[in-house]
Structure 1
Amino acid sequence: MEKAKRISRLGTENAFEVLAVVNRLVKEGRSIVSFCIGEPDFDTPAHVKQAGMEAIARNETHYGPSAGLISFREEIAAYISRTRGIAVDPEEVVVTPGAKPIIFHGILACVDEGDEVIYPNPGFPIYESMINFVGARPVPAALLERKGFSFDLDEFRRLITPRTKLIILNSPQNPTGGVLSRADLEAVAELAIRHDLWVISDEVYSRILYEGEFASIASLPGMKERTILIDGFSKTYAMTGWRLGYGVMNRDLARDIARLETNCESCTATFTQYAGLEALQGPQHASDRMVQEFKERRDRIVDGLNAIEGIRCLRPQGSFYVFPNVTEACRRLGFKDSKALQEYLLFEGSVAVLPRTSFGRKNDGETEEYIRLSYATSKEQIREGLRRIKEALERRA
């Protein structure tokens, strides 16, 4: 029997593939310092866990509305209204099991086969995967180190064609840690309005910001109605396993996205939504402390990487990733590319990182090599991982 052709177009998230190798090596007795998974190494705040357990105890374990509990959507609407400076109605909110379904549903609802979708590259690999899966054409927009991992706006404008239907943005970014400026967002907004385009704005790292103020394209004039804003609880509240996210969009599209939820998952688990409600309404101290700890780790890992010959690393403004340039290290030590370096560091240095190609194929004309490290791990592990990287590269020299 033949499978559907679209399955061959489906990509993956390579971090989990590298993690599987790491777990195998650990099972074999190896000590591996892993920088590969983007998951906070903190526990879900106690009051949030308690709210989830209390919801289960009072039997909040049945079906809920496909769009999410109304009390939860009201709180999300109030939160987005407050943080993005726009008026949001609960009917414009759709709750999903994690933020990924909004990426998938948003592309399904807004993009036809043959349409073109502009997305950030390097970027979260699920963007390109979903674009390909629905039969659209992925159009990568290069994030450039020389611009702090933002776009060259002249190049970005040239990507738009009569087939363009959607632009995907992510800020703060995975994998680079870059943050799009308000000026960049204003330029993209002008293009979206002029060409009548949808925008998906992935803002799951919006609270993990170290300098400046977060800006959302949905806050700009004329953009709320054409933007699908994505946020969630995995990163800010260390709730990755709870699977809880949401999208904010115009009311008409929200009805369509909710119908996709009906067809796909029926609804998001009810008791997790009560935990999310408490996360938004309750004290924010645990999240604030986590972000402060991430900032200290960021400084430690950036300084450490920049002290290793052949590596240079920008200091990211947000998320919990660094994306160092390893071009010189690859050339000096004879590695074909960052994938070869990644494999060497894993098997010879006992350090797990991800190569540039885990986040999309190289852009036309791109010659530099990069790796991604997640610093969602302890300072002790960061110190030891940096020591191992330095020793492994010196041993190769």
Structure 2
Amino acid sequence: MPQLSSRSSGMPASGIRRIFELALRRPDTVMLAVGEPVAEPPRHILAAAADTWVAADVRYTANAGILELRAAIVDKLRRENQLVVDTDRIHVTNGGTQALSHAILLTLDEGDEVLVPDPGYTVFSMAPRMVGAVPVPYRLRAEHGFAPRAADLAALVTPRTRAIIVNSPSNPLGVAYPRETLQQIVDLAVAHDLWILSDEVYERFVMDAEHVSVATLPGAAERTLTVHSVSKTYALTGARVGWLVTPPGLGEVLGKVQEATTSCVNTPAQRAALAALTGPQAALRDARDMYRERLRASCALLDERGIRYLPPTGAFYLWVDVSHASRGDVAAWAERFLVERGVAVAPGSAFGAGGEGWIRICAASPWEDLARGLAALPAPVRPS
């Protein structure tokens, strides 16, 4: 049998996927490890996709996506993100993951380095390796509230550095970074002439915080590629629709990248995304309020038990400290916790070395599961 490429065979496995697959073997598992919204997609969105199938509207679209959808995205960005772009700067993709992959294809060559958050979403480190680039983790530390510090990033910049990945609101940390923190990163990128790849897929879920689109900050417009998605916002994770917003002048080359990968996103899913962006938004507001309340109630339960956590300000995740129980190997502890207590959580080390001793819990889960899972967590021993 011919040998596989080193890039594919050498790709590290996902620690989240391991827990997920183990959990599938137990039908009674309390599943808190995966970022799957419990909210149902609004019916008018599902109807738009169904009507498209019935009408046999399943031909190719433009590489960049249906023009009406791209126009709706332009309107959304102007209205909600204070970002003014035209349709040539919008490319509809198969979810936010493909948008990120396209951003990497556009900006990185073999041997280039990209600064990635640690802890950070697993694909931030996986996708660069697929083009032969080198992910360089920038540590987000508990003593700094897991916020990025420009000085730490600056110390990692080398002549091979080409880009910085920024994620706010953050997966897995569940925090939205303040404007001044993001501006410091932009200033660093300007000083070293770096690209910024900004993942903002959780933008609609903020809690007592402001969402700041990086591309709107001074100095960012010409160097920022922004990833968006309808997956979490409208509970459409399986529909696989996202988009990439680029600086001016990249439309033609991005069209060629899209043609070489997937040609275009399937038409019914694009019509569903159009209905999501242009239709009633009450379900989105209800989901946001529900997740916010579950986060607050979860924090209250953790406070009662004396378990440390990072106060959530964005997304729908809880970042919880279990170092008092995991003893330096949180991945092994998470497997034991699943076997012994029937609760699946994502080990923090799956998101990078900086996540050792922590776990990610999805607060978008059913409240009964969430409360049961939190009650099963081991509390630290209090001094007598």
> Which interval holds the TM-score relative to the shorter structure?
over 0.9
Aligned residue number for residue 314 of structure 2: 318
Give ranges in structure 1 of 5+ residues lacking alignment: none
Give ranges in structure 2 of 5+ residues lacking alignment: none
Aligned residue number for residue 241 of structure 1: 238
**CA separation of 1:14 and 1:338: change in aligned 2, threshold 3 A:** closer
Within 5 A, what are the aligned runs for 1:96-245?
96-245=93-242
Aligned residue number for residue 343 of structure 1: 335
Aligned 8 A contact 1:92 1:251 in 2: yes
> How far, CA to CA, are the matches of 2:332 and 2:7 in structure 1?
30
Aligned 8 A contact 1:107 1:130 in 2: yes
**CA separation of 1:12 and 1:268: change in aligned 2, threshold 3 A:** farther
| SS, match of residue 222 in structure 2 | helix
Aligned residue number for residue 15 of structure 2: 14
> How far, CA to CA, are the matches of 1:194 and 1:25 in structure 2?
52
The one-letter amino acid paired with 1:25 is R
Aligned residue number for residue 247 of structure 2: 250
Aligned 8 A contact 1:10 1:130 in 2: no
- State, as a whole percentage, how many aligned pairs show the same letter: 34
- Decide which moves more: 253-262 or 278-287: 253-262
**CA separation of 1:336 and 1:84: change in aligned 2, threshold 3 A:** closer
Aligned 8 A contact 1:324 1:372 in 2: yes
Within 5 A, what are the aligned runs for 1:283-294?
283-294=280-291
Aligned 8 A contact 2:167 2:200 in 1: yes
> How far, CA to CA, are the matches of 1:70 and 1:253 in structure 2?
17
Aligned 8 A contact 1:297 1:375 in 2: yes
| SS, match of residue 375 in structure 2 | helix
Aligned residue number for residue 31 of structure 2: 34
Encode CA deviations 1:250-269: one digit per residue, 9 max, x unaligned: 24323222211111111101
**CA separation of 1:225 and 1:10: change in aligned 2, threshold 3 A:** same
1:383 equivalent to 2:371? Answer yes
Aligned 8 A contact 1:9 1:133 in 2: no
Aligned residue number for residue 263 of structure 2: 266
Aligned residue number for residue 79 of structure 2: 82
Tell me which of 51, 59, 64 is aligned to 1:62: 59
Aligned 8 A contact 2:15 2:331 in 1: no
Return the offset for 1:234. 0.4
Return the offset for 1:390. 4.4
Encode CA deviations 1:343-364: one digit per residue, 9 max, x unaligned: 221011111111122112x15x
> How far, CA to CA, are the matches of 1:13 and 1:276 in structure 2?
29
> How far, CA to CA, are the matches of 1:90 and 1:351 in structure 2?
45
The one-letter amino acid paired with 1:318 is G
> How far, CA to CA, are the matches of 1:306 and 1:346 in structure 2?
23
Return the offset for 1:52. 1.3
> How far, CA to CA, are the matches of 2:331 and 2:219 in structure 1?
42
Return the offset for 1:86. 2.4
- Decide which moves more: 320-329 or 225-234: 320-329
Aligned 8 A contact 2:7 2:130 in 1: yes
> How far, CA to CA, are the matches of 2:340 and 2:303 in structure 1?
21
Encode CA deviations 1:208-233: one digit per residue, 9 max, x unaligned: 11112210110012312211111010
> How far, CA to CA, are the matches of 1:57 and 1:256 in structure 2?
34
TM-score (norm 2): 0.95
The one-letter amino acid paired with 1:5 is S
Encode CA deviations 1:303-359: one digit per residue, 9 max, x unaligned: 2233335x31122101111111122233xxxx4421222122101111111112211
1:303 equivalent to 2:288? Answer no
> How far, CA to CA, are the matches of 1:261 and 1:66 in structure 2?
6
Aligned 8 A contact 1:375 1:382 in 2: yes
**CA separation of 1:183 and 1:121: change in aligned 2, threshold 3 A:** same
| SS, match of residue 244 in structure 2 | strand
Aligned residue number for residue 370 of structure 1: 358
> How far, CA to CA, are the matches of 1:150 and 1:255 in structure 2?
36
Aligned residue number for residue 26 of structure 2: 25
TM-score (norm 1): 0.92
Return the offset for 1:12. 4.4
| SS, match of residue 287 in structure 2 | helix
| SS, match of residue 310 in structure 2 | coil
> How far, CA to CA, are the matches of 1:183 and 1:9 in structure 2?
38
Return the offset for 1:68. 0.3
1:327 equivalent to 2:315? Answer no
Aligned 8 A contact 2:176 2:209 in 1: no
The one-letter amino acid paired with 2:376 is R
Aligned residue number for residue 350 of structure 2: 358
